[in-house]
């Protein structure tokens, strides 16, 4: 697999191994970073970044919540994402933009006028939960760790510090032999996976927890809601109790890294017939079809960087 040679750091391309920060960097001590995870696919139209616009907007939204000034325009960062792919000669990639407070002192609150540093790396990354998971599905469990309450740390921001929660949820699941953990919110309703949103299918209705359920409003989640509505499926954003997972006809997770992964069991209880269900398969086909052209990109989601 092709390895990345360069990454974009504060306005320039630097050799991958020379992109360094100081050990006193604020983000290392206090989690003060915001970031994105984006994928570029090799498509029928050439290498294309999926929903680049929305991802960079979410990066700026996350920074806005934390009043973190990003000293670059959205256009500059979008171009840096494209450049990080091209300069490394990648035809598909995972792209990781990160804005963080560097060596600005060890006070919890950054000094007035501090600005974020920004880096964008692009590198090859296969299916997050494994290629065979996309077809076979995964075994998941409900975590003993809950998601943060809405008035503690905002889950609508994709901030570095939030991922301590994801590490507890995902780590516990893996130690107990599951592929991924699902968190409840503080009210006991289903929230999301450690790094994925969650959907169930019940009687041909697609249901996903609403933005108020301590979720990250995922861009893949939004893509699936859009593709499902477009294909004529009934779709609801509604609170789900834990047992809804056990009684669902189908369960699946969505995320940029994970893509669309069927869940074949939850807490050891088989979901449906224990295999990828027909709605999940149809939505996977609609999603991946965007990249081979079998699904028309009606929404302008593909940002083609090297046309074929």
Q: And the tokens for 207?
A: 């249901």
Of 89, 92, 97, which is closest to residue 120 (Cα–Cα)? 97
Q: Which stretch binds ligand PMP (CB under 6 A): 90-98, 108-116, 192-200, 292-300?
A: 192-200
- Asked if 216 touches ligand PMP (CB under 6 A), the answer is yes
Binding positions for ligand PMP, 79-138, rule CB under 6 A: none
What torsion do the CA atoms of 41, 46, 49, 51 make, to the nearest 10 degrees?
Answer: -100
Q: Is 255 in the site for ligand PMP (CB under 6 A)?
A: yes
Note whether 254 binds ligand PMP by CB under 6 A. Answer: yes
Q: If binding is defined by CB under 6 A, does position 157 make contact with ligand PMP?
A: no
Nearer to ligand PMP, 32 or 62 (CB): 62
166 interacts with ligand PMP by CB under 6 A: yes
298 is a catalytic site residue = no
Q: How far is the CB of 265 from ligand PMP (least distance, A)?
A: 21
Cβ 197 to ligand PMP, closest distance in Å?
5
Note whether 192 binds ligand PMP by CB under 6 A: yes
Q: Which position among 20, 64, 78, 158 bears the catalytic label?
A: 158
Number of residues that bind ligand PMP (CB under 6 A): 14
Which residue's CB is nearer to ligand PMP, number 110 or number 133? 133
The 3 state secondary structure assigned to the chain is CCCCCEEEECCEEEEHHHCCCCCCCHHHHHCCEEECCEEEEEECCEEEEECHHHHHHHHHHHHHHCCCCCCCCHHHHHHHHHHHHHCCCCCCEEEEEEEECCCCCCCCCCCCCCCCEEEEEEECCCCCCCCCHHHHCEEEEECCCCCCCCCCCCCCCCEHHHHHHHHHHHHHHHHCCCCEEEEECCCCCEEEECCCEEEEEECCEEEECCCCCCCCCCHHHHHHHHHHHHCCCEEEECCCCHHHHHHCCEEEEEECCCEEEEEEEECCEECCCCCCCHHHHHHHHHHHHHHHCCCCCCCCCEEEEEEC
- Residue 227 interacting with ligand PMP (CB under 6 A): no
Binding mask 26-65 for ligand PMP (x = CB under 6 A): -----------x----------------------------
- Name the residue with the smallest CB distance to ligand PMP: 218
Beta carbon nearer to ligand PMP, 9 or 287:
287
Nearer to ligand PMP (CB atom), residue 7 or residue 219: 219
Decide whether 104 or 227 has the Cβ nearer to ligand PMP: 227
Enzyme catalytic residues:
158
Can you give the binding site for ligand PMP, defined by CB under 6 A? 37, 166, 192, 195-197, 216, 218-221, 254-256
């Amino acid at each position: 697999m092709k390895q990345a040679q360069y990454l974009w750091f504060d306005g320039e391309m630097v050799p991958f191994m020379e992109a360094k920060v100081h050990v006193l960097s604020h983000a290392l001590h206090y989690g003060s970073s915001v970031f994105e995870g984006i994928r570029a696919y090799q498509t029928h139209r050439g290498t294309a970044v999926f929903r680049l616009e929305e991802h960079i907007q979410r990066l700026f939204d996350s920074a806005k919540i934390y009043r973190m000034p990003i000293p670059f325009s959205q256009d500059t960062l979008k171009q840096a994402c494209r450049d990080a792919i091209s300069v490394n000669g990648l035809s598909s990639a995972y792209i990781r933009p990160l804005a963080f407070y560097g060596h600005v002192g060890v006070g919890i609150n950054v000094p007035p006028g501090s600005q974020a540093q920004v880096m964008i790396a692009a590198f090859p990354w296969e299916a997050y939960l494994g290629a065979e998971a996309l077809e076979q599905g995964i075994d998941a469990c409900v975590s003993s760790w809950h998601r943060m309450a809405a008035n503690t740390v905002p889950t609508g921001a994709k901030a570095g510090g939030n991922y301590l929660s994801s590490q507890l949820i995902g780590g516990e699941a893996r130690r107990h032999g599951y592929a991924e953990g699902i968190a409840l919110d503080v009210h006991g309703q289903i929230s999301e996976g450690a790094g994925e949103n969650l959907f169930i299918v019940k009687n041909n209705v697609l249901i996903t927890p609403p933005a108020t359920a301590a979720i990250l409003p995922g861009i893949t989640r939004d893509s699936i809601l859009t593709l499902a509505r477009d294909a004529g499926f009934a779709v609801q954003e509604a609170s789900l109790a834990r047992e809804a997972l056990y009684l669902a006809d189908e369960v699946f997770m969505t995320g940029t890294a994970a893509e669309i992964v069927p869940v074949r069991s939850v807490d050891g209880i088989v979901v449906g017939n224990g295999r990828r269900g027909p709605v999940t398969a149809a939505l996977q086909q609609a999603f991946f079809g965007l990249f081979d052209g079998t699904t028309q990109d009606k929404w302008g989601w593909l940002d083609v960087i090297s046309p074929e």
